[in-house]
Amino acid sequence: MISKSQKTYKIITFGCQMNARDSEKLAGVLEEKGYVEGIDDVSSDIVIFNTCTVRENASNRLYGRVGYLKKSCMENKNKIVGICGCMMQEKDEVETIKKKYPYVKLIFGTHNIDEFSLYIDRALSEDKRVIEVRDKALGVERDMPSKRVFPFKCGVNIMYGCDNFCAYCIVPYVRGRERSRDVKAIIDEIKRDIADGVIEVMLLGQNVNSYKGKDTDGNIVSFPDLLDRVCKIEGLKRVRFMTSHPKDLSDELIKVVRDNENCCKHIHLPVQSGSTHILEMMNRHYTRDSYVDIVDKIRREIPDVAITTDIIVGFPGESEDDFEATLSLVKEVKFDSVFTFEYSKRTGTKAASMENQVDEKVVKDRFERLLKEVESSSRTNIDRYIGRVIDVLVESKDREKGKLTGRLSNNYLVHFDGDESLVGKIVDVKLIKPFGFYFEGKLC
């Protein structure tokens, strides 16, 4: 229960796991200042929007939410609305906010999130807007306090930025070039998290496979080596990582996942298209055949692994034959889950200026066809687990349905009856019946 004297905050997050982790840091700073999480953005004293610019719909959702707050800002002159994240690295977006939303008091970018505490103090004390957007990072971000969404699991940044420059992607421009954290800083953070009750961590980076941090002796450490070291930290029950680029996925990484029992048997491996021609246009640096070879190798070495992916429909120049190649890849690989997206033109990327932009109606038709194929081809994978007893990390309890929700090592969800005291614990659950991408189970 929040008392009337308490100051409140609300953070609304758009985008990826990296943004979600950043929002936990923002919440940690505000909690240290004595704020408590509010009920909603309308009634809260501080509202921070952590933005994504990968797709246009995220931008549209942001402007809708910010516009809705105008009335509450007029009623509460001390209310602070702030916007940060990837969108704020785009000058045009910053200018739009400055002109159309004068009640937004704080704007800052991805490269100076660690100055958030200072910016909040300035926004509270100064009678003017605080706008701080660096063009590039000054180095690897400093440690910040954090308020985790789940007390028993968390994300840990191992690197920032990206050097791949895929033709459709704005990330290298708004997150900057790759910067890897030192091994000791990562290990020390995870040990602190474990001491605080964490049993599962997810190692985060735009492309974790290209991690090249340094150990205390100054030696370069690869991602497989880092992952192996993390898996051997005492008290850590589960280790995940996100996201892997196919061009960099090595035999060493596959072996580390295979040989460490607490390394979750789930690899997210974005393919984006099943057409080698489109992959070349996307600047992905692998072919359809080489991608399939990687998947086959992973499944040979790790039989129970779940492989998930991202696919973009309607990239400029995508023909019907190119799209059919994507459908056939989905049939062949039988992904456990597919995150599907309609191509979104992002100003500043190479793809935005390409000719042969695909008609919107064609894109939507292909998108629906892809969804049907994904649902059909994924069913085989989920059926193989029926009747098995598997370790499940219990994540939450649904108040209305009374069911517990847990996650398997391979990232599938399962719902089952059980006491709320089990939340945060790993328990044995028998998988009874599949429903799309989750199971109904029974506690053993």
Task: Using DSSP, state whether 20 is helix, strand or coil.
Answer: helix
Question: In 3D, which of 199, 241, 244 has the Cα closest to residue 391?
Answer: 199
Identify the pLDDT of residue 141.
63
CA-to-CA distance for 418 and 421, rounded, in angstroms? Answer: 8
**153-382 CATH, one of 3.30.160.20, 3.40.1280.10, 3.80.30.20, 3.30.1180.10:** 3.80.30.20
No. of helices (H) and no. of strands (E), the chain: 13, 21
Q: Which amino acid would we find at residue 230?
A: V
| pLDDT score recorded for residue 136 | 78
Contact (Cβ atoms closer than 8 angstroms) between residue 117 and residue 106 = no
Check residue 3 and give its pLDDT: 64
CATH no. of 8-132:
3.40.50.12160
Tokens of 332: 């062949």
Q: Is the peptide bond before 243 cis (omega within 30 degrees of 0)?
A: yes
Q: How confident is the prediction along the chain (444 residues), in pLDDT tens digits per residue?
A: 566 678 999 999 998 888 899 999 999 999 999 999 999 999 999 999 999 887 777 778 888 999 999 999 999 989 999 999 999 998 999 999 999 999 999 999 988 899 999 999 999 999 899 999 988 777 666 678 888 889 999 999 999 999 999 999 988 888 888 999 999 999 999 999 999 999 999 999 999 999 999 988 999 999 999 999 999 999 999 999 999 999 999 999 999 999 999 999 999 999 999 999 999 999 999 999 999 999 999 999 998 899 999 999 999 999 999 999 999 999 999 999 999 999 988 888 999 999 899 999 999 999 999 999 998 888 878 888 899 999 999 999 987 778 999 999 999 999 999 999 999 999 999 999 998 778 999 999
Q: CB under 8 Å to 427, separation ≥6 — which residues?
A: 391, 392, 394, 406, 418, 443, 444
Report the candidate in 285, 347, 359, 286 with the shortest Cα–Cα distance to residue 316. 359
Helix (H, G, I), strand (E, B) or coil at 149: coil
Q: What is the pLDDT of residue 102?
A: 94
- Consecutive H or E run containing 242: strand 238-242
pLDDT score recorded for residue 176: 87
pLDDT at residue number 398: 86
- pLDDT digit string (tens) for 171-190? 888 888 899 999 999 999 99
CATH for 389-443 is 2.40.50.140
Global pTM reads 0.89
* Residue 245: predicted pLDDT: 96
End-to-end CA distance of the chain: 36
Phi and psi angles of residue 309, each rounded to the nearest 5 degrees, phi first: -155, 170
Q: Quote the pLDDT of residue 270.
A: 97
In the chain, where are the structural domains located? 8-132, 153-382, 389-443
Domain pair 8-132 / 389-443, same fold? no
Would you say 11 and 50 are in contact if contact means Cβ atoms under 8 Å apart? yes
Paired tokens of 24: 């936990």
Confidence (pLDDT) at 101: 95
